[in-house]
Amino acid sequence: MKTPISYFVVLSAVLFAIGSVGVLVRKNALVIFMSVELQLNAVNLALVAFSRLHGNLNGQVLAFFSMVVAAAEVVVGLAIIVNVYRRMHTANVDDASLLRW
């Protein structure tokens, strides 16, 4: 018996929601960044599921693109977070409060 496509879409929505909540409630920049990665992977799951639904490969191609972009984002993002850690000796986003109105 085949698993219905909708299961995958719902799973991806759940993963995306977990990632969003992670970004909003966690304080460590690295954990926030991991939550963003979870969101991107949730999107990849949705893309592959939709690709199967429509019977064309556009979604799978886009999933590859999004993996490449995620990798590029890791490169830039980790460099920025390491830079912050070196200067402020913390990766906690609440301690980075120089810029406030």
**Where on the chain is the footprint of another protein (CB under 8 A)?**
9, 12, 16, 19-20, 23, 29, 32-33, 36, 39-40, 42-43, 46-47, 49-50, 53-54, 56, 58-59, 61-62, 65-66, 69, 72-73, 76-77, 79-81, 83-84, 87-88, 93, 96, 98-99, 101
End-to-end CA distance of the chain: 58
Task: Closer to another protein by CB, 2 or 89: give it.
Answer: 89
Closest approach of another protein to the CB of residue 2, in Å = 18
Task: Closer to another protein by CB, 2 or 87: give it.
Answer: 87
Q: Are 62 and 43 a contacting pair, CB within 8 Å?
A: no
Q: Are 50 and 41 a contacting pair, CB within 8 Å?
A: no
Closest approach of another protein to the CB of residue 88, in Å = 7
How many Cβ atoms from other residues are within 10 Å of residue 23's Cβ?
15
Task: Closer to another protein by CB, 9 or 11: give it.
Answer: 9
Of 85, 70, 2, give the one whose Cα is nearest residue 93.
85
Closest approach of another protein to the CB of residue 1, in Å = 23
